[in-house]
Amino acid sequence: MKTKATILIDKETLETAHEIGLNVSKTCENALGLYIQAMQNTNTKMNPTFLGEASFAKEGSLVRSPRFEPGSSAWQGDADVDCEQLTVDWQKFRDWLDQKDYKRDVASSMFSYARQFSSCLTGRDLSKVAELRDSFRPNVMKALSALAKFLGCYEDYKQLIRQYGLKWGGRSADDLIIDRLNKVENPDEVFEWIRQAKAARPDLTDFLDLMAVTGLRLVEAVSSYNLIVRLSRENKLQEYYHVEHQTLEHFKFKEIFIRKSKKAFISFVPGELVKRIGENDLLTSPDAVQKLLQKRGLKLRFADIREAHATFSTKFLKDTEIDFLHGRVTTNVFMRNYFNPALITDLQARALQGIQEIQEKVKT
């Protein structure tokens, strides 16, 4: 139950707050809640620098408040602030993420990274983030960015990024190409890993077979697997699987498979594998799949499966055809050049020949 209370605010501040659309009542309530929490965390011994007058940055006529987006700076210009007192209500943060325009798996990953690296933000020390590999660091930085906005210290977070010389982007395209040229991966090593993984986790056998024959990304493979299971239970599998062409038609589920930068249009999959998958239980999430293998002490090599599939497929397919099956063409190119029954039939024959060999290599 909420009780009405009178708070004295100077006229200029109140007018400015109204002009920029601040909910004054909610902002004061949030700030007071944080102040109480900070005092309780220090056994009621008040820290005068935390959430006191000096902790509210005033930029021109804009007064910012903690936990209100865009948030305040409880750090700016005050090195003595005890940032460990910036506690996080993780359930509220998760709810906040869910209200944003993120896909569910993206929100889950951001939440996980934010929890794992939150001390880097509250401790104002991004050295641990700077040490992360180039391909992983941007994901952590984006998660901490969301957390900083939620806590109301985004401007300070940006300043920290500049201090540590961090970049939002990953490695350049040139660096990635050089890495690929230097990484001579033997597909047989990856197929051996698949056999080991299937022996360690028999419950993932059909899922790993699906990844091996399609070269789908982990997130796409989990989505495809679960879609097969769901539609099979509803007797609607024909909406996704084209029996004659032996293709999973991902393009029919645009909201799942046609993402901004990562796409999947179709995958050739033998009918007997699709049938087996349809009789299985749903997978919880990509993270859950990875943890199942980690518990068996296995190194995660899902990205290598995709590369091995592409490398092995060069025996049967052209580079442009592999790019098409891996979703590295635009929607327009797909519709103009590939969505043609005659072309699909020709491509199907050669793709299934390669798939048959892959299935033999990963058989346990």
**Rounded Cα gap, residues 317 and 323, in angstroms:** 10
Poorest-pLDDT segment among 116-125, 212-221, 263-272: 116-125
Tokens in use for 208?
């790993």
Q: Is the pLDDT of residue 45 over 90?
A: no
Tokens in use for 85?
């007192």
More confident of the two residues 73 and 210 = 210
User: What integer pLDDT is reported at residue 341 of this predicted model?
Assistant: 63
pLDDT bracket for residue 54 (50, 70, 90): very low
pLDDT digits (tens, 9 = 90+) for 226-262: 999 999 999 999 999 999 999 999 999 999 999 877 8
More confident of the two residues 23 and 351 = 351
Q: Is the pLDDT of residue 209 over 60?
A: yes
CA-closest candidate to residue 157, choices 115, 129, 133: 129
Q: Is the pLDDT of residue 185 over 80?
A: no
Beta-sheet strand order (sheet of 266-268):
241-242, 247-249, 266-268
Average pLDDT over residues 82-110: 81
Q: Is the pLDDT of residue 357 over 60?
A: yes
User: What integer pLDDT is reported at residue 56 of this predicted model?
Assistant: 37
More confident of the two residues 51 and 244 = 244
**Rounded Cα gap, residues 138 and 133, in angstroms:** 9
Average pLDDT over residues 128-156: 89
More confident of the two residues 69 and 228 = 228
Q: Is the pLDDT of residue 216 over 70?
A: yes
So where are the chain's domains? 11-78, 90-163, 185-361
User: What integer pLDDT is reported at residue 364 of this predicted model?
Assistant: 87
More confident of the two residues 336 and 251 = 251
Instruction: Label each residue of the chain as H, E or C.
Output: CCCCCCCCCCHHHHHHHHHCCCCHHHHHHHHHHHHHHHHHHCCCCCCCCCCCHHHCCEECCEECCCCCCCCCCCCCCCCCCCHHHCCCCHHHHHHHHHHCCCCHHHHHHHHHHHHHHHHHHHCCCCHHHHCCCCCCHHHHHHHHHHHHHHHCCHHHHHHHHHHCCCCCCCCCHHHHHHHHHHCCCCHHHHHHHHHHHHHHCHHHHHHHHHHHHHCCCHHHHHHHHHHHHHHHHCCCHHHCEECCCCEEEHHHCHHHHECCCCECCEEECCHHHHHHHHCCCCCCCHHHHHHHHHCCCCCCCHHHHHHHHHHHHCCCCCHHHHHHHCCCCCHHHHHHHHCCHHHHHHHHHHHHHHHHHHHHHCCC
Asked if 289 contacts 204 with a C-beta cutoff of 8 angstroms, the reply is: yes
pLDDT bracket for residue 273 (50, 70, 90): very high
Q: Which CATH number fits domain 185-361: 1.10.132, 1.10.260, 1.10.443, 1.10.275?
A: 1.10.443
Calculate the average pLDDT of the chain: 80
pLDDT bracket for residue 202 (50, 70, 90): very high
Average pLDDT over residues 26-43: 63
**Rounded Cα gap, residues 108 and 23, in angstroms:** 29
